[in-house]
Copies of this chain bind each other. A is one copy, B any other.
Amino acid sequence: MSSTNSSGEPAAVRVVGGWASPFVNRVVVALKLKGVEHEMLQETVGKKSELLLRSNPVHKKIPVLLHHGKSIAESLIIVEYIDEVWPASDGAPAILPRDPYCRAVERFWAQYIDDKFPRGTRVLRGTVAGDKDGVVVEMSTALKHLEEAFVKCSQGKQYFGGDNIGYLDIALGSFLGWIKAVEKFAGVELLDEAKVPNLAAWADRFCAHPAVVDAMPDADKLVEFAVKHAALMKALDAPK
C-alpha cells in the first residue's frame, strides 16, 4: 500500500520497517484496520538507512512511523498514536477499548507479551543465546496465561477486543508468524490446540481478518529468513 503522490513528494504516512518484523507488522495491521494509506520503506537486514538513524536516533530500530515529518518509535506506542490520530469512525474501529480498566488490562498483557515473546523467539531462532527448553516452557506458560486472558477479555466474542481486532489482538497477533516459524525451526509445539483451544481458534481468525491476511508473513518464509539471517550474523562476526 503506497500513498506516494504523483508529484513524487513523500507520502503523509510512511513506515520505516521490514517485512519480517513482528513489531512492524503491528503498525501495518493498525494502519490497515483504520484504512490509512501509507508508504512502506523496507530496511535492508544488516544495514540501517540514514532515514532510520535520523528518525530513531536513540534505539536505531524499526518500526518508525513518519507522519507529516514527525517520527514516532516503539510499536505499541505507534499503535496507540494511530488510534488517537484516527479515532473510531464508521469505517475504522477503535483499537483501544473505551473503559479505563479494560485499557489497563490490555496494556498489561501487551507489556507481558513484549517481555516474553521477542526474547523467546530469538532464543529459539538461535540469534540470542539461551536455554531453549526453558524458553519453550516460558512461552507455553505465557500462552496459557493469554488463553485465560482471552476468555476474560473477549467475553464470548471473536477477539480480545470483542467484535473486532483491538490493541491486544494486534500485540499478540503480530507474533503469530514467528510463533509458527519457530515451531517449525525448533521442532516444538507452542500454540497447542489441546492446551490453548480458544487462543488457537483466535489465531486462525486473526490471520484471516481482512486487515491481517495480506500483512502476516508466511511461516516458511520466516524460517528461510531466520536461516539467512543467522548466516549473515555469523559472517559479520567472523574475523576480517
- The answer to whether A77 and B58 touch across the interface, beta carbons within 8 angstroms, is no
- The answer to whether A100 and B73 touch across the interface, beta carbons within 8 angstroms, is no
- The answer to whether B80 and A145 touch across the interface, beta carbons within 8 angstroms, is no
In the bound complex, what is the Cα–Cα distance between A84 and B103 (angstroms)?
A: 10
The reply to whether the CB of A81 lies closer than 8 angstroms to some CB of chain B is yes
Q: Nearest Cβ in chain B — how far from A146, in angstroms?
A: 10
- The answer to whether A80 and B58 touch across the interface, beta carbons within 8 angstroms, is no
Q: Mark A38-75, 1 if CB is under 8 A from B, else 0.
A: 00000000000000000000100000000100101110
The reply to whether the CB of A107 lies closer than 8 angstroms to some CB of chain B is yes
In the bound complex, what is the Cα–Cα distance between A157 and B77 (angstroms)?
A: 25
- The answer to whether B58 and A81 touch across the interface, beta carbons within 8 angstroms, is no
B residues less than 8 Å from A100 (CB atoms): 81, 84-85
B residues less than 8 Å from A73 (CB atoms): 108
- The answer to whether A104 and B145 touch across the interface, beta carbons within 8 angstroms, is no
Contact of A145 among B58, B67, B108 (CB under 8 A): B58
B residues less than 8 Å from A72 (CB atoms): 101, 104, 108
- The answer to whether A112 and B58 touch across the interface, beta carbons within 8 angstroms, is yes
The reply to whether the CB of A78 lies closer than 8 angstroms to some CB of chain B is yes
How many A residues are at the interface, by size bracket? Answer: 20 to 34
Contact of A77 among B77, B80, B81, B107 (CB under 8 A): B107
The reply to whether the CB of A154 lies closer than 8 angstroms to some CB of chain B is no
Question: This chain: how many copies in the complex?
Answer: 2
B residues less than 8 Å from A104 (CB atoms): 72, 77-78, 80-81
In the bound complex, what is the Cα–Cα distance between A104 and B55 (angstroms)?
A: 14
B residues less than 8 Å from A84 (CB atoms): 100, 103
In the bound complex, what is the Cα–Cα distance between A75 and B80 (angstroms)?
A: 18
B residues less than 8 Å from A74 (CB atoms): 107-108, 111
Please list the 4 inter-chain residue pairs (A to B) with the smallest Cβ-Cβ separation, ordered nearest first. A84-B100, A81-B104, A72-B104, A77-B107
Residues of A within 8 A of B (CB): 58, 67, 70, 72-74, 77-78, 80-81, 84-85, 100-101, 103-104, 107-108, 111-112, 145
Known: A70-B101, A81-B100, A84-B100. 18 other contacts (CB 8 A): A58-B112, A58-B145, A72-B104, A72-B108, A74-B108, A74-B111, A77-B104, A77-B107, A77-B108, A77-B111, A78-B104, A80-B103, A80-B104, A81-B101, A81-B103, A81-B104, A84-B103, A85-B100
